[in-house]
Amino acid sequence: MTDSTYSYYQPPVQFNAASFPVARAVAASSCVPFAFTPITIGPQYFQEPADTNRAHPQLIDGGVYDNQGIQKLTQANSRYECNTIIVSDAGAGLSPLGNSPYPNTIALLLRTVDLFMNRIKNAQMMANLFQRATEHSKCVAYLSLGWQLKNSIPGFIDNLAQGNIPPAVVAARQLRAEWVANPKEHRLALTEYLEQQLDYAGLIARDLTSDEWQIVCRVGTNLTPLTPIQLSLLTRHAENLTEIQVKLYWP
């Protein structure tokens, strides 16, 4: 609760985070925009009660600010700063609309929130994961359970073309200078080289079929128990994605 805009006030506004009820924090984390009323912080949780006259915080779902929870891991001089990071995104991505997408106002609001959060996540991926990480020579292995294994190497080559691969990774992969200078022109050679270096054939042999991948992507977050087949496929898919992303993006 101290890591906010209020800490930069002169003098800073400080909160008694240790005494703030956990149940109230959980309620705030569930306050999806447009659907629930934000949670307020009462005067008893201000270190200086008089600060309630100049600060009026309202707490909502943290995904609006940092949907992946990764900003502080890549931010320079943060106490949570890490040089090497693995991020696993359990989101399946923005689902396509059906024939009757908005049967009521609530459905429209939920779709609006989904779109809003998806755009935030994509922007944060670029700013916090790739651009900022490369600027500070951090190594980030990012994987999403909504991805297919076959897109990992093409994605790495795209990131190389955009300057989003740290020098340590380029050196560890032993990439030729001409490949790094013009990845798109050498895409085929890069693909063949990386496939051999990563034992890609072995990974693909363990990959999910198209039907199995669809099962993984349809797993919801409505707190219902997962079936044995869902657990098995999620585990296999996560293992494969983690292995190829770590091999690609870690030195």
Q: What are the CA-CA distances from residue 44 to residues 18, 24, 31, 52, 62 (Å)?
A: 12, 14, 22, 10, 22
Give 169: exposed, middle or buried? Use CB within 10 Å, 0-12, 13-18, 19+.
buried
For residue 242, what pLDDT is reported?
A: 93
Q: Which residues contact 77 (CB under 8 A, 6 or more apart)?
A: none
Q: Where are the domains of the chain?
A: 5-61, 64-249
DSSP class per residue in 176-197:
-HHHHH-TTTTHHHHHHHHHHH
Would you say residue 197 has pLDDT above 90? Answer: yes
Please report which confidence band the pLDDT of residue 103 belongs to, taking 50, 70 and 90 as the band edges: confident
Distance CA 56, CA 37 (A): 14
Please report which confidence band the pLDDT of residue 2 belongs to, taking 50, 70 and 90 as the band edges: low
Distance CA 21, CA 120 (A): 28
Residue 144: beta bridge partners? 89
> Are the C-beta atoms of residues 38 and 31 closer than 8 Å to each other?
yes
pTM tops 0.85, yes or no: no
Would you say residue 89 has pLDDT above 70? Answer: yes
- In this predicted structure, which of 73-87, 123-137, 153-167, 175-189 has the lowest mean pLDDT? 123-137
For residue 189, what pLDDT is reported?
A: 96
For residue 244, what pLDDT is reported?
A: 95
For residue 30, what pLDDT is reported?
A: 83
The three-point CA angle 31-61-83 to 5° equals 165
Scored b (16 or more CB within 10 A) or e, 176-198 reads eeebbeebeebbeebeebbeeeb
State percent of the chain over pLDDT 90: 38
Q: Which residues contact 222 (CB under 8 A, 6 or more apart)?
A: none
Please report which confidence band the pLDDT of residue 32 belongs to, taking 50, 70 and 90 as the band edges: confident
Residue 23 or 30, more confident: 23
The stretches of 5-92 forming alpha helices (DSSP H) are 22-29, 63-66, 71-74
For residue 45, what pLDDT is reported?
A: 92
State percent of the chain over pLDDT 70: 86
For residue 98, what pLDDT is reported?
A: 60
Q: Is the peptide bond before 43 cis (omega within 30 degrees of 0)?
A: no
